[in-house]
């Protein structure tokens, strides 16, 4: 990877003035993963440190980037660009009126020449039937916005570290047109902002379940009083007929003399013990006041001792990162998979620049293996890591698993999260504090070796292509069907809404007399509560209760003063919740509350369920209800979520006033309608446990499916 980037800088992107109309034109690898730009095409300037080739083509063609249709890599690969028209051109352009379209046309023509030359770009335009969203006030509500203070610095921070399941958008001084642009990039669909919405700069905060568009839509409505309405229209698209990446050299052999990449330094700002103690007190009070499940898995005396031990260590000034490493295990001791302390935005920015260990790890049997090697070596796949920078693997893993966890005593959730989405690489820096260059001691086939590996930034540690949707259905043969659900959210691979897919699948099962259904909810991190209940309804043969209770401690909390920009609970919370004799509030209006009815057509054939440590939240609510009912066979690994419910739902993004560490604090305690306690603090455990070896991982073997197809 390092050799590849170096070639780009020499061959693909020379600093040059080949086109006389440019004063400056440079194009190279993205310098950050988050785009910050200063662009004014009327003045002949375009500067960005991270812009996709798809967006650049859109700028050059005068069309929205989401309407540029080409190979997936043009949206994935990002570049830094600095383009300024020559002084002669700028002088000539300034003599024109401010609305003269030829100013922008000239800039775009020059940019298109550059892209055509460097990427062998060829395109054509066509008109298509398409859908777009309109952002408008939700019926019966007023937008929950706060006008920005005069002179407010414009900023938009996305808080998503992979250590928790919610994403927070913290916006300051942003117009709703700017929000619409961000939504457009998020949804990959054009977004028009209604003129009815307020003009001018606004401050607001938005929080939703990571990767869940339906949760984002619901958050817009409940938190900001706005909705996205989809409409059909005819729109112009730019179709890329030809585009080429520059030639890439063969992967380099193991180099021993490459220069190490500089690590991002920790902040020089240190907080006094008094400031840190205040932050700790606010954090502790907020959890004790607002978290309905704070003592669900860990008794109060144990939590009290952990908080007291942390307070006793606040005897010296600390950076925010040092404070994070002290407090994250304390919060994790609650064993709530939806509750995890997050670094501040400053730490996250350093994480983006930090050269991380360039591997995807596989945590198997308490050991660390290399599942994918993205380093300059390219030969480490399959190796067992014995130590990193002199720290032995068990110590590294122990420190990470004290922070990265699921619900209760699930033994699979932590290893799963470290083994996916660069979890190990991120937490090697965030928790273990180990930085590039990485001195590895590793074992292959019983022999021990050593190597030094330079880190790579997160932007370089790409995942593979993602599926088109969140579910798929297929027939293996005349009697066997496989329903794969990756998330209880969004649409299926064919674009069908999830509820419509369920109805179609069970109708087809009945029509074709399918007698064996393999239901695959591995890697399913959750989603909409209602969809879990809806799926179960096709498997239920009589009326049932899904939730026993949903509890919120209060309607107003003291710690809300440390939740920026918005009220965490919707304005109509008092209408949605009913106060009970216990003094707490119960969500009796939830669609899963009360007696639920079976759905038709009912499925009564053989049911085989595949699950693993990535099965969490809504997926576990469904699995536990199904397991409690009986009749299905469960294959795989214990789930990452608990058996009897969880703490999730609406959450408040607490921000500590000094260190700026954040905590998405879930406010709703979910309790499933399951009697008994024999499952304890574990998740749903399989009838047929499956363990993987590193050879299985490298071979992409699907052992659960192999077992299911034999049954």
Say if strands 226-242 and 68-69 run parallel, antiparallel, or are unpaired.
parallel
Q: Give me the helices (H) in 69-194, please.
A: 73-76, 87-93, 102-119, 176-187
Classify the phi-psi angles of 520: left when phi > 0, otherwise alpha if psi is within -120 to 50, otherwise beta.
Answer: beta
| Percent with pLDDT over 70 in the chain | 84
Query: Two tokens at 68?
Result: 């540029």
Give the pLDDT score at 9. 27
Q: Say if CB 642 and CB 625 are below 8 A apart.
A: no
Average pLDDT over residues 274-278: 96
666 and 536: one domain? yes
Residues 360-370 as b/e (b if ≥16 CB within 10 A, e otherwise) read: bbbbbeebbbb
Task: Tell me the CATH number at 441.
Answer: 2.30.42.10
Average pLDDT over residues 236-255: 61
Task: Tell me the CATH number at 482.
Answer: 3.90.226.10
440 and 533: one domain? no
Tell whether 485 is covered by a domain. yes
What is the overall mean pLDDT for the chain?
84
Residues 402-415: tens digit of each pLDDT: 999 999 999 999 99
134 and 20: one domain? no
Q: Say if CB 296 and CB 670 are below 8 A apart.
A: no
3-state secondary structure 212-253: CHHHHHHHHHHHHCEEEEEEEEEEEEEEEEECCCCCCCCCCC
Judged by average pLDDT, the poorest of 339-348, 401-410, 411-420, 569-578 is: 569-578
578 and 687: one domain? yes
Q: Is residue 94 over pLDDT 60? A: no
What is this structure's pTM? 0.67
Tell whether 272 is covered by a domain. no
| Percent with pLDDT over 90 in the chain | 53
Q: Is residue 139 over pLDDT 60? A: yes
Residues 2-60: tens digit of each pLDDT: 222 222 222 233 333 333 467 677 777 775 544 444 456 666 677 777 788 888 888 88
545 and 565: one domain? yes
Q: Could you say which of 88, 119, 150 is where a domain stops?
A: 119
Give the pLDDT score at 165. 54
Q: Say if CB 278 and CB 285 are below 8 A apart.
A: no
User: Residue with structure tokens 């070896």?
Assistant: 693
Look up residue 515 and give its DSSP letter: -
Give the pLDDT score at 307. 97
476 and 448: one domain? no
Average pLDDT over residues 452-461: 88
Give the pLDDT score at 516. 97
Give the pLDDT score at 163. 34
Q: Say if CB 208 and CB 219 are below 8 A apart.
A: yes
Tell whether 292 is covered by a domain. no
> Residue 254 — pLDDT band, cuts 50, 70, 90?
very low
Give the pLDDT score at 650. 84
Give the pLDDT score at 212. 73
Domain count, the chain: 4
Instruction: Find the distance separating the first CA and the last CA of the chain, reported in whole Å.
Output: 44
Give the pLDDT score at 651. 85
Give the pLDDT score at 20. 42
Average pLDDT over residues 670-681: 95
Residues 632-647: tens digit of each pLDDT: 999 999 999 999 999 9
Tell whether 152 is covered by a domain. yes
523 and 615: one domain? yes
Give the pLDDT score at 35. 45
Q: Could you say which of 395, 428, 463 is where a domain stops?
A: 463
| CA angle, residues 412, 417, 423, in degrees to nearest 5 | 150
568 and 448: one domain? no
Tell whether 574 is covered by a domain. yes
35 and 98: one domain? yes
Identify the sign of the CA torsion 506, 512, 514, 515. positive
Q: Say if CB 638 and CB 613 are below 8 A apart.
A: yes
Query: Two tokens at 393?
Result: 């693997």
Q: Is residue 122 over pLDDT 50? A: yes
The H-or-E segment that residue 134 falls in is: strand 122-137
Tell whether 284 is covered by a domain. no
Q: Is residue 366 over pLDDT 90? A: yes
d(CA 537, CA 147): 46
Domain span at 7: 2-119
Give the pLDDT score at 256. 38
Q: Give me the helices (H) in 270-392, please.
A: 273-290, 300-312, 320-332, 345-353
d(CA 171, CA 578): 33
Number of Cβ within a 10 Å radius of residue 11: 12
Q: Which residue has the higher pLDDT, 669 or 26?
A: 669
Q: Could you say which of 185, 217, 238 is where a domain stops?
A: 238
Give the pLDDT score at 600. 96
Tell whether 298 is covered by a domain. no
639 and 568: one domain? yes
Residues 401-448: tens digit of each pLDDT: 999 999 999 999 999 999 999 999 999 999 999 999 999 999 999 999
Q: Is residue 162 over pLDDT 60? A: no
Tell whether 327 is covered by a domain. no
73 and 135: one domain? no
Which CA distances in Å does 595 have to 502, 575, 581, 590, 673? 21, 21, 22, 12, 11
159 and 107: one domain? no
Give the pLDDT score at 11. 28
């Amino acid at each position: 990877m390092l050799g590849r980037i170096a070639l780009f800088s020499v061959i693909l992107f020379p600093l040059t003035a080949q086109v006389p109309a440019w004063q400056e034109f440079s194009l190279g690898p993205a310098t950050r993963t988050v785009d910050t730009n200063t662009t004014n095409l009327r003045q002949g300037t375009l500067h960005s440190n991270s812009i996709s080739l798809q967006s650049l083509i859109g700028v050059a063609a005068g069309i929205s980037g989401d309407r540029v249709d080409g190979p997936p890599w043009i949206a994935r690969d990002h570049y830094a660009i600095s383009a300024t028209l020559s002084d002669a051109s700028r002088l000539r352009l300034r003599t024109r009126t401010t609305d003269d379209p030829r100013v922008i046309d000239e800039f775009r023509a020059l940019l298109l020449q550059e892209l055509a030359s460097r990427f062998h770009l060829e395109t054509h335009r066509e008109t298509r039937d398409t859908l777009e969203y309109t952002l408008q006030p939700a019926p019966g509500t007023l937008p929950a916005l706060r006008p920005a203070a005069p002179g407010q610095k414009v900023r938009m921070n996305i808080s998503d570290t992979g250590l928790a399941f919610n994403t927070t958008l913290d916006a300051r001084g942003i117009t709703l047109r700017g929000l619409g642009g961000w939504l457009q990039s998020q949804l990959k669909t054009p977004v028009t902002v209604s003129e009815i919405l307020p003009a001018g700069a606004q401050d607001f905060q938005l929080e939703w379940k990571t990767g869940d568009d339906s949760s984002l839509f619901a958050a817009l409505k409940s938190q900001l009083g706005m909705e996205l309405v989809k409409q059909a229209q005819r729109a112009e698209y730019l179709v890329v007929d030809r585009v080429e990446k520059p030639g890439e050299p063969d992967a380099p052999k193991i180099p021993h003399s490459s220069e190490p990449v500089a690590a991002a330094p920790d902040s020089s700002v240190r907080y006094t013990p008094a400031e840190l103690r205040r932050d700790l007190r606010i954090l502790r009070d907020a959890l004790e006041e607002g978290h309905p499940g704070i003592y669900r898995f860990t008794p109060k005396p144990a939590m009290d001792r952990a908080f007291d031990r942390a307070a006793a260590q606040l005897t010296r000034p600390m950076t925010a990162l040092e404070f994070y490493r002290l407090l994250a295990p304390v919060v994790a001791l609650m064993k709530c998979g939806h509750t995890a302390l997050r670094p501040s935005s400053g730490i996250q920015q350093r994480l983006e620049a930090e050269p991380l260990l360039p591997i995807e790890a596989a945590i198997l049997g308490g050991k660390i293996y290399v599942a994918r090697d993205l380093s300059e070596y390219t030969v480490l796949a399959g190796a067992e890591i014995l130590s990193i920078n002199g720290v032995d693997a068990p110590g590294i893993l122990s420190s990470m698993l004290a922070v990265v966890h699921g619900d209760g005593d699930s033994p699979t959730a932590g290893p799963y999260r470290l083994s996916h989405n660069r979890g190990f690489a991120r937490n090697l820096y965030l928790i273990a504090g180990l930085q590039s260059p990485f001195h590895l001691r590793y074992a292959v086939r019983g022999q021990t070796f050593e190597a030094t590996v330079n880190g790579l930034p997160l932007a370089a540690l790409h995942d593979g292509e993602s599926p088109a949707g969140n579910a798929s259905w297929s027939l293996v043969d005349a009697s066997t069907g496989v329903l794969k659900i990756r998330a209880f959210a969004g649409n299926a691979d064919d674009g069908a809404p999830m509820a419509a897919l369920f109805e179609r699948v069970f109708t087809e099962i009945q029509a074709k007399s399918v007698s064996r259904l393999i239901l695959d909810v591995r890697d399913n991190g959750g989603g909409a509560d209602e969809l879990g209940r809806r799926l179960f309804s096709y498997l239920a043969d009589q009326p049932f209760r899904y939730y026993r209770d949903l509890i919120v401690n209060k309607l107003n909390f003291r710690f809300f003063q440390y939740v920026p920009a918005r009220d965490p609970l919707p304005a109509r919370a008092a209408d949605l919740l009913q106060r009970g004799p216990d003094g707490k509030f119960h969500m009796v209006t939830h669609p899963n509350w009360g007696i639920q009815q079976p759905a038709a057509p009912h499925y009564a054939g053989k049911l085989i369920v595949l699950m693993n440590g990535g099965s969490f939240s809504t997926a576990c609510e469904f699995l536990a209800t199904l397991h409690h009912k009986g009749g299905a066979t469960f294959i795989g690994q214990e789930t990452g979520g608990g058996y009897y419910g969880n703490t999730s739902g609406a959450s408040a993004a607490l921000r500590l006033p000094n260190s700026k560490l954040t905590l998405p604090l879930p406010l709703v305690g979910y309790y499933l309608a399951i009697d008994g306690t024999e499952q304890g603090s574990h998740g749903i455990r399989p009838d047929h446990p499956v363990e993987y070896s590193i050879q299985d991982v490298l071979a992409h073997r699907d052992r659960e499916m192999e077992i299911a197809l034999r049954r």
